[in-house]
Amino acid sequence: MKESVKTFLIAALMLLVSIGTGTITFTLLEDYSLLDAFYMTMLMVSTVGFREVSPLSDNGKIFASLYMMFNLGIYAYIVSVISRYIFEGEFKKIFTTFIFNNKTKKLKNHVIVVGYGKTGARTCEELLKNEVQFILIEHDPHVLQYLPENPRFQILKEDATREEVLMKARIEVAKSLIVTLPNDTDNMIICITAKGINPNLNIIARASEESAEKKLYRAGANKVVKPFAIGGIHMAHLITQPYVIEFLEILTGIKDQDLQLEEYMFNELKEDFKNKTIKELDIRQNTGATVIGVKDPEKGFIFDPNSETIIKKGDVLIVLGSHESLKKFQMYCV
């Protein structure tokens, strides 16, 4: 956008300089008044061709000839700039960029998704479903054609491997980055750049090759997902543990049933419910939901915690329930 505005300003400045030069020179050479000099200048700049204010002197004729040739070059440049703005949609690009910048200024603790391939598209769907604020970065025209006509999220159509593009997406105040590009090298470059800008950023990266996993971790990824490995394990488990997989599909929303998992941080709970045992909270009786796990900052995950487990600072509750029961669980939250 800066380059487009700069080009337009240069064209406008050239025109103003030309008009100023003509006006001053005609005033000095022909002793015209400022109004007559300006009028004469505009006749030449516009190439309209009306007769002169008064007959020109020899010096005036020489200047007028050179001035007309000079203005033909300026005129051609200005026409090319205006044509590009009108026919190549530069005005639309500038306006769109202006609106985008205004929206992104408000973004904070958001998620950035890089890539709108099969993995990225599904990621965006899940984030939308969970009402998570995010911005998508994608510049491949072949991929962009699969975007919905009126997307409910912001899109930055530029190359995410460039630092300035990540800055446009406000990577410095983002909460998480999900990198789903098919090229592992690009994913590593993005991870390194993003971590350098925001060391606290939670990065989830896709690995297309087995050998890329360790490199992505070294590049700054917090978690690396290998779709090929997950797909293979999933297919094998459909044979060896079909009912377990069916249950997991219900939990992850693949199966269209009213059952889902949610996580709740200790600091999301109201003061009255902090540092209480699961028995004292009586979540199942009050909501119908069930605490199936607790993430303890020291012990790690505690699966199927007993009723005497105390929910203390730093803990995360993993709650299973229907949409209605999880809605009722909000009574425990701030």
| Structural element, H or E, at residue 292 | strand 290-296
Residue 187 CB contacts under 8 Å (≥ 6 apart), including other chains = 114, 179, 181, 205, 206, 207, 212, 216, 219
Which tokens is 156 given?
């930055």
83-141: pLDDT as tens digits: 766 655 555 665 666 666 666 777 889 999 999 998 899 899 989 988 899 999 999 98
Which tokens is 161 given?
């491997």
Evaluate if residue 214 carries a pLDDT over 60.
yes
The answer to whether 329 and 267 are in contact (CB under 8 A) is: no
pLDDT, mean over the chain: 86
The CATH class, in words, for 2-92 is: mainly alpha
Evaluate if residue 216 carries a pLDDT over 90.
yes
Average pLDDT score over residue span 175-184: 94
Identity (one letter) of the amino acid at 248?
L
What is the per-residue pLDDT for 224? 94
The answer to whether 77 and 11 are in contact (CB under 8 A) is: yes
What is the per-residue pLDDT for 93? 61
Among the residue ranges 1-10, 100-109, 323-332, the one predicted with the least confidence is: 1-10
Domain boundaries, the chain: 2-92, 107-225, 258-332
The answer to whether 188 and 123 are in contact (CB under 8 A) is: no
Evaluate if residue 179 carries a pLDDT over 90.
yes
Architecture of domain 107-225: 3-Layer(aba) Sandwich (3.40)
d(CA 289, CA 274) in angstroms, rounded, equals 18
Residue 177 CB contacts under 8 Å (≥ 6 apart), including other chains = 111, 112, 114, 171, 190, 191, 194, 201, 202, 203, 204
What is the per-residue pLDDT for 98? 62
The CATH class, in words, for 258-332 is: alpha beta
Query: Does the global pTM surpass 0.85?
Result: no
Evaluate if residue 248 carries a pLDDT over 60.
yes
24-35: pLDDT as tens digits: 998 998 888 899
43-73: pLDDT as tens digits: 888 777 677 778 888 888 888 888 888 888 8
**C-beta atoms surrounding 247 within 10 Å:** 13
